[in-house]
Amino acid sequence: MKKGLLVLIVSIFVVNVLCGCINENKKTSAIDIKTKFVGKWIFGSESITFYSNGTYVSTNGNGTFELKDNRLLLQDEVNLESYEFTYSFSNNNNTLTLTNLADGSLIVLIREGAYNTYENAEYGFRISYPAPWSEREGVLPNAVVTFLKDTGPMGVLGGSVSVTVSNAGGYDMDDFKAAHIENISLLYTDFNFTYQGNATLAGEPGYELIYTYSQGVYSIIQREIWTIKNDILYFLVCIVEKQNYNEFEDEFDQMISSFEIIS
């Protein structure tokens, strides 16, 4: 029974693949609104940064911006073109939706560094993830949820964090660690541990592994951290191509640090 639990857990990660209340009689000034725009915003592979002096720099050009009559006016000084949008903020001002008045097209921008919160009452946990990422349930068998940076063909290899919650089957931390490491050696013939040691997850004693292995033409780095509380195993797995790990390390750290057990 215990061995079956371990195979189940490990094998799912073999990669096949405006805030506050405002008095209705009080008008919000243009300066207050402009402050909401200031900062770097991401949309797909492109970005735009608004500055408090009324200028902007984007992937495709730069220029000035103005807020007038609930409209955002952009003057592109490189292409000598102007654009006019309606706008709305959501998600605690971390999501900005622009509607181009010329053709009706929508652009949804996410503030750089913004995080969303995912909570699952059934499995008793809460975790924050980067706002530009997507949350998907059922992406990996037996994972409660998987957070993906890239929803394209790279899938989990484009950067992902998965959360599994299951009965620990009577294992304590030491027993699970030993059996899990043995299982890894059976699953991968070319794995190499780059780190292993005690850790803390959701304020509970835990253990962390980081190791590399190959899957087809890909060289993968996998980071795992887990804890057992009240005979429930909480297991987080971070996956990305080895060459891109440094780019994702801070986001992995923040997601792991944000994980909470709520039941």
Please, what's the b/e burial string for 40-68 (b: 16 or more CB within 10 A of its CB; e: otherwise)? Answer: ebbbeeebbbbeeeeebebeeebbebebe
Q: Which of 68-77, 101-110, 152-161 has the lowest mean pLDDT?
A: 152-161
The pair of three-digit structure tokens given for residue 88, joined into one six-digit string: 């709305």
C-alpha separations of 230 from 10, 70, 105, 159, 170 in Å = 21, 54, 51, 31, 10
- Per-residue model confidence as pLDDT tens digits over 84-104: 999 999 888 889 999 999 999
Interhelix angle 2-11/173-187, rounded to 10 degrees, is 60
| Residue 138 pLDDT greater than 70, yes or no | yes
Residue ranges of domains in the chain, CATH in brackets: 30-111 (2.40.128.370), 113-261 (3.40.1000.10)
Dist CA 217 CA 162 (whole Å): 22
CB 236 within 8 A of CB 201: yes
pLDDT of residue 132: 85
Mean pLDDT of all residues in 6-32: 43
- CA quadruple 119, 128, 17, 186: dihedral, nearest 10: -90
Percent of the chain at pLDDT exceeding 90: 65
Dist CA 103 CA 188 (whole Å): 53
C-alpha separations of 241 from 8, 134, 146, 153 in Å = 23, 18, 16, 13
The pair of three-digit structure tokens given for residue 188, joined into one six-digit string: 């991968």
Percent of the chain at pLDDT exceeding 70: 87
- The count of other CB atoms within 10 Å of the CB of residue 35 is 13
Mean pLDDT of all residues in 22-41: 65
- Per-residue model confidence as pLDDT tens digits over 225-257: 999 999 999 999 999 999 999 999 999 999 999
CB 234 within 8 A of CB 227: yes
The amino acid present at 109, given as its one-letter code, is L
Strand segments, DSSP code E, in the chain are 39-43, 46-50, 55-58, 61-68, 71-76, 81-90, 95-100, 106-111, 115-120, 125-130, 134-136, 145-148, 160-167, 192-201, 204-215, 218-229, 232-241, 260-261
Q: Which of 27-36, 43-52, 71-80, 133-142 has the lowest mean pLDDT?
A: 27-36
pLDDT of residue 24: 35
Confidence of residue 177 (pLDDT cuts 50, 70, 90): very high
Confidence of residue 8 (pLDDT cuts 50, 70, 90): very low
pLDDT of residue 6: 52
CB 156 within 8 A of CB 140: yes
| Residue 110 pLDDT greater than 70, yes or no | yes
- Unique residue bearing structure tokens 């997601």: 255
Mean pLDDT of all residues in 167-195: 93
| Residue 21 pLDDT greater than 90, yes or no | no
Confidence of residue 28 (pLDDT cuts 50, 70, 90): very low
Residue of 164, 207, 212 lying closest to 6 (CA atoms) = 164
Mean pLDDT of all residues in 36-64: 92
